[in-house]
């Protein structure tokens, strides 16, 4: 498949409520539409992970982030503008719904304290996928919960590869670094907590 065909197929699957295995700007990830509660539940099943743990999401830009959190702290805007490495920001005030629609995140994407972790990917392929989807994409590492995060496509368990609806061919893995992003939690008054460097 050509790169544009791969992107189109991944987009089709996600729009239809399916799950994908794809290269992010950090590690290989499991993804789905973050506003589709049934698709998010399927990600938890594939990972064999309790749905009490929130998920990292990808957004195309801060405009998209603004649709899914009540307020973007100004410090987060500054961090995004100067960022040159993968960075996940945990925002307060996620807008979610138990029933789900394209304007609300699936409730299981959000932490118990109402926060949500969102990263604007640096990789063009991921950014295009999220932009074309028009809403956040789940991005959780492609492993069974508790097992090591796969550094390469060849490290991903076969059961994960077989469980998703579409696997992006590894030849498209031009941007995954194999390293996790830094994680920062921000508050509305400019507070910053470093979760992972």
Q: How far apart are CA 175 and CA 123, in angstroms?
A: 6
Q: How far apart are CA 182 and CA 184, in angstroms?
A: 7
- Reported as a single tens digit per residue, the pLDDT across 127-155 is 999 999 999 999 999 999 889 888 788 88
> 93 exposed, middle or buried (CB, 10 Å; 0-12, 13-18, 19+)?
middle
CA nearest neighbour of 4 among 154, 175, 168: 168
Strands (E) across 32-93 are located at 56-58, 87-91
Confidence at residue 151, expressed as pLDDT on a 0 to 100 scale: 78
Q: How far apart are CA 143 and CA 158, in angstroms?
A: 10
Confidence at residue 177, expressed as pLDDT on a 0 to 100 scale: 67
Confidence at residue 182, expressed as pLDDT on a 0 to 100 scale: 87
pLDDT beneath 70, residues of the chain: 52, 99-100, 172-177
CA nearest neighbour of 2 among 190, 178, 168, 121: 168
Which run of H or of E encompasses 194? Answer: strand 192-196
**Domain positions in the chain:** 3-196
Crossing angle of the two packed helices 124-133 and 3-15, in degrees rounded to 10: 40
Fold of the domain spanning 3-196 = DHBP synthase (3.90.870)
Confidence at residue 3, expressed as pLDDT on a 0 to 100 scale: 85
Q: Given its phi and psi angles, is residue 146 left (phi above 0), alpha (psi -120 to 50 degrees) or beta?
A: left
Q: How many Cα neighbours within 13 Å face the side chain of 13?
A: 21
Q: Return the residue matching tokens 């138990």.
A: 98
What's this model's pTM, rounded to 2 decimal places? 0.92
Confidence at residue 52, expressed as pLDDT on a 0 to 100 scale: 66
């Amino acid at each position: 498949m050509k790169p544009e065909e791969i992107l189109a197929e991944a987009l089709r699957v996600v729009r239809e409520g399916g799950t994908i295995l794809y290269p992010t700007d950090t590690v290989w990830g499991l993804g789905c539409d973050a506003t589709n509660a049934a698709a998010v539940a399927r990600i938890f099943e594939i990972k064999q992970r309790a749905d009490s743990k929130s998920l990292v999401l990808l957004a195309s830009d801060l405009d998209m982030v603004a649709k899914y959190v009540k307020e973007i702290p100004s410090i987060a805007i500054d961090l995004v503008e100067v960022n040159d490495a993968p960075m996940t920001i945990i925002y307060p005030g996620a807008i979610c719904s138990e029933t789900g629609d394209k304007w609300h995140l699936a409730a299981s994407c959000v932490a118990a304290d109402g926060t949500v972790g969102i990263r604007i990917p640096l990789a063009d392929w991921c950014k295009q996928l999220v932009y074309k989807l028009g809403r956040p994409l789940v991005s959780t590492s492609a492993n069974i919960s508790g097992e090591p995060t796969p550094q390469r496509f060849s490290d991903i368990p076969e059961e994960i590869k077989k469980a998703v609806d579409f696997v992006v061919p590894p030849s498209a893995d031009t941007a995954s670094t194999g390293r996790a992003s830094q994680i920062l939690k921000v508050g509305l008054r400019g507070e910053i907590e470093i979760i992972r460097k």
